[in-house]
């Protein structure tokens, strides 16, 4: 049972590594384009040419590597946490609510929540030290 968090973290890291590197190398093929003029088309039309999506993909790759390594897992979760929240938000608000039930979105969400839950004691330690009065 003690190896399950490591397996989950490795799967989460590999997923982000795979999708992050796919942005640069395109080995998974091109994703279907949304209908022209739709909210997803306008959204991705804004973030792709500006380089913002490339920046996010670099953070995905860095966060993935950090999550896979047990010593740096919490830093990796801090990097990937906002990305996971944004993936969920984009799929709810821009792609339409049903998009949140796609298998990759569910897998990343569940794995992230599980790894965060298994590392909760370390995160609570950060909160306790931040709220403790200093002498």
Cα–Cα distance for residue pair 66/16, rounded to 1 Å: 11
Report whether 88 contacts 109 (CB < 8 A): yes
> pLDDT tens digits for 98-133?
888 999 999 999 999 999 999 888 877 766 765 666
Cα–Cα distance for residue pair 106/12, rounded to 1 Å: 12
Residues in the chain: 135
Residue 32: is its pLDDT beyond 90? no
Residue 91 banded pLDDT, cuts 50, 70, 90: very high
The per-residue pLDDT for 129 is 62
The per-residue pLDDT for 125 is 73
pTM: 0.87
Residue 7: is its pLDDT beyond 60? yes
Cα–Cα distance for residue pair 107/16, rounded to 1 Å: 11
Cα–Cα distance for residue pair 51/9, rounded to 1 Å: 28
Cα–Cα distance for residue pair 78/63, rounded to 1 Å: 8
């Amino acid at each position: 049972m003690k190896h399950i968090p490591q397996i989950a973290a490795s799967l989460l890291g590999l997923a982000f590594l795979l999708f992050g590197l796919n942005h640069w190398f395109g080995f998974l093929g091109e994703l279907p384009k949304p209908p022209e003029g739709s909210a997803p088309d306008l959204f991705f039309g804004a973030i792709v040419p500006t380089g913002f999506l490339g920046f996010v993909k670099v953070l995905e790759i860095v966060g993935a590597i950090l999550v896979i390594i047990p010593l740096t897992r919490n830093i990796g979760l801090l990097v990937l946490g906002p990305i996971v929240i944004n993936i969920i938000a984009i799929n709810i608000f821009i792609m339409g609510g049903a998009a949140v039930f796609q298998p990759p979105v569910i897998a990343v969400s569940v794995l992230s929540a599980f790894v965060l839950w298994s590392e909760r004691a370390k995160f609570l330690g950060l909160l306790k030290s931040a709220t403790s009065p200093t002498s």
